[in-house]
Chains A and B, each alone.
Chain A
Amino acid sequence: MEWEVVIGLETHAQLQTKSKIFSGSSTAFGAAPNVQANAVDIALPGVLPVLNRAAVECAIRLGLAVGGRIAARSIFARKNYFYPDLPKGYQISQYEIPVISGGSLAIIVGQGEQGYEKTVQLTRAHLEEDAGKSLHEDFHGKSGIDLNRAGTPLLEIVTEPDMRSSAEAVAYAKALHALVQWIGICDGNMQEGSFRCDANVSVRPKGSEKLGTRREIKNLNSFRFMQQAIDYEVHWQIATLEDGGRIEQATVLFDPATGETRAMRSKEDAQDYRYFPDPDLLPLEIIPEWIARVKAGMPELPAEMKLRFAPDYGLSAYDAAMLTVSRETAAYFEDCVAAAGRENAKLCANWLMGELAARLNKEGGEIAAAPISPLQLAALVRRIADGTISNKIGREVFDALWNGDAQDVDELISARGLKQITDGGAIEALIAEVLAANPKSVEEFRAGKEKAFNALVGQLMKATKGKANPQQVNELLRRKLSG
């Protein structure tokens, strides 16, 4: 039977506020245990939560960025469950009326020819507080509790079950990861747990409208693990069903060491959480003027920029999408084009997505801190565009700039004598030399072997150390041979 995979994602993004969502404790990462947990965070009796304006503003920014509805009035609810890192015995969350509903996110799945665009619908996004951390290491058979993280503001962003493969799920997670950083609401640091995903995965016979029973994979904190975990889970569910088994709704954990998922506990139903409106918090009201103020302070969004890039710079939709994967990438590109000239935009894009992206990928590091500045890359692009150097020599120049051997493109070209040989006379003289030294190739070419021609071009490029214009070499050589 052919199966269809159905995936929905729930993402917890820690919001970049200085203080907690309901208290004035610091949210800075990496402090000594429990020094950033005050009376509210550790749930001493008699304390009251007071909502942080900046956390609400982060939710408004996301709502604007995804085109969701921002509720004029939303409600905080208590989600009741017992766990030692949740000292109140309930998490303050939003249930029936979340701050954001609806909206969507455009994603690109795959690369190049196989790449395609897709829109993932969002269900909702709601504000809530993070729990503390349980450390299960050796404390004489006990667990250690650190409540520094308790009360850190979270925005939980929930999608519709719109994704049909692990690749689509990862593409969505990457797009959301880029967006929350783009609009400045989350630092996106996955190692520190600032951006965590849960994946709801089910399978159904292809063509069926009914959703299969889902299992929820918890706490995926890297894109690679997300891909592995979903692939394993899908494989397991299909194998189970094909063996005549049944899928039980469950929460599962992914073990990176084994690459497997395993059931954690039987899933609690929503009714087991006994949600009810939190009497400690009044309804959150967001007036249109506030939304307008936040909107005025928003950066240009990736989707808008993507639409602008294609016509402005003569780029394909794919190029435009790749150049707007992050705010830093887009800024680098625009700075580069500003210096290189709009007519060289495509060449800038090629170098950015080609050589620069490959280097960053290989050596690690962020584009904003790349060893080559946008202005240096622009200078390089200009010299290729005006024919001073060949594309191939361009790579040598790129290397030198990357390694810090040179700062100035023009100085480097003249110091190393990299200028392209475009003097027809000089090239013809070289051709005569090469033909004389390779009579066998000449003979083979005249006998109809095209390969021999390429061999001669190779010899010529070698003789010029790659500095001849390949197109010109081709033309002159062919004329000489046929003449």
Chain B
Amino acid sequence: MPLNLDQVERLARLSRIEISAADSGETRDQLNGVFALIEQLQAADTRGILPMAHAVELAQRLREDIVTESDRREAYQAVAPEIENGLYLVPKVME
């Protein structure tokens, strides 16, 4: 099922990336190339095979509920573009 330009636009919005009108045609064609590969994979008969959640056949290891971390805010915020009163500042997002 090839993608159309509207779907490309929607994906771009969900991914918060900007695709110019000039580039959207090429992006669509590249994505459709990927979809063709997926379609090929989907042709394989997977009846009776349980979906795999992970490539490794192991179970999750658990940690004990202990606080092991100390305050390293200063180090983390040294590389932040903008901070104030201990907060990271970002462009305003309101819904």
In the bound complex, what is the Cα–Cα distance between A277 and B55 (angstroms)? 11
Closest chain-A Cβ to B10's Cβ sits at a distance in Å of 8
- Determine the chain B residues whose CB is within 8 A of the CB of A55 once the complex forms: 65
Contact check, B88 vs A52: say whether CB atoms are below 8 A apart.
no
Contact check, B62 vs A38: say whether CB atoms are below 8 A apart.
no
A424 on the interface (CB 8 Å rule)? no
A134 touches which of B14, B55, B66, B93 (Cβ 8 Å): B93
If the complex has contacts A17-B65, A36-B71, are A283 and B86 also in contact, measured as CB distance less than 8 A?
Answer: no
A93 on the interface (CB 8 Å rule)? no
Binds A, one of B20-28, B29-37, B38-46, B72-80: B72-80
Contact check, A24 vs B67: say whether CB atoms are below 8 A apart.
yes
B14 touches which of A17, A37, A272 (Cβ 8 Å): A272
If the complex has contacts A25-B69, A35-B86, A82-B16, are A282 and B77 also in contact, measured as CB distance less than 8 A?
Answer: no
- Nearest chain A residue, comparing its CB with the CB of B59: A285
In the bound complex, what is the Cα–Cα distance between A51 and B76 (angstroms)? 23
Contact check, A34 vs B66: say whether CB atoms are below 8 A apart.
no
- Determine the chain B residues whose CB is within 8 A of the CB of A141 once the complex forms: 92
Contact check, B65 vs A18: say whether CB atoms are below 8 A apart.
yes
- Determine the chain B residues whose CB is within 8 A of the CB of A432 once the complex forms: none
A130 on the interface (CB 8 Å rule)? no
Contact check, A143 vs B93: say whether CB atoms are below 8 A apart.
yes
- Determine the chain A residues whose CB is within 8 A of the CB of B6 once the complex forms: none
Binds B, one of A144-152, A161-169, A315-323, A324-332: A144-152
* Contacting residues of chain A (107-143) with chain B, CB-CB under 8 angstroms: 134-136, 139, 141-143
- Determine the chain B residues whose CB is within 8 A of the CB of A83 once the complex forms: 93
If the complex has contacts A142-B91, A272-B14, are A34 and B58 also in contact, measured as CB distance less than 8 A?
Answer: no
Contact check, B59 vs A284: say whether CB atoms are below 8 A apart.
yes
Contact check, B63 vs A52: say whether CB atoms are below 8 A apart.
yes
- Determine the chain A residues whose CB is within 8 A of the CB of B85 once the complex forms: 33, 144
B89 on the interface (CB 8 Å rule)? yes
- Determine the chain B residues whose CB is within 8 A of the CB of A279 once the complex forms: 54-55
If the complex has contacts A282-B60, A284-B60, are A35 and B71 also in contact, measured as CB distance less than 8 A?
Answer: yes
Contact check, A53 vs B87: say whether CB atoms are below 8 A apart.
no
- Determine the chain A residues whose CB is within 8 A of the CB of B93 once the complex forms: 83-84, 134, 143
Contact check, B65 vs A283: say whether CB atoms are below 8 A apart.
no
- Determine the chain B residues whose CB is within 8 A of the CB of A53 once the complex forms: 62-65
In the bound complex, what is the Cα–Cα distance between A208 and B21 (angstroms)? 47
Known pairs A53-B63, A84-B88; list 14 more (Cβ under 8 Å).
Answer: A18-B65, A18-B67, A24-B66, A24-B67, A34-B73, A34-B86, A34-B88, A37-B76, A50-B61, A51-B61, A81-B14, A281-B60, A282-B61, A284-B59
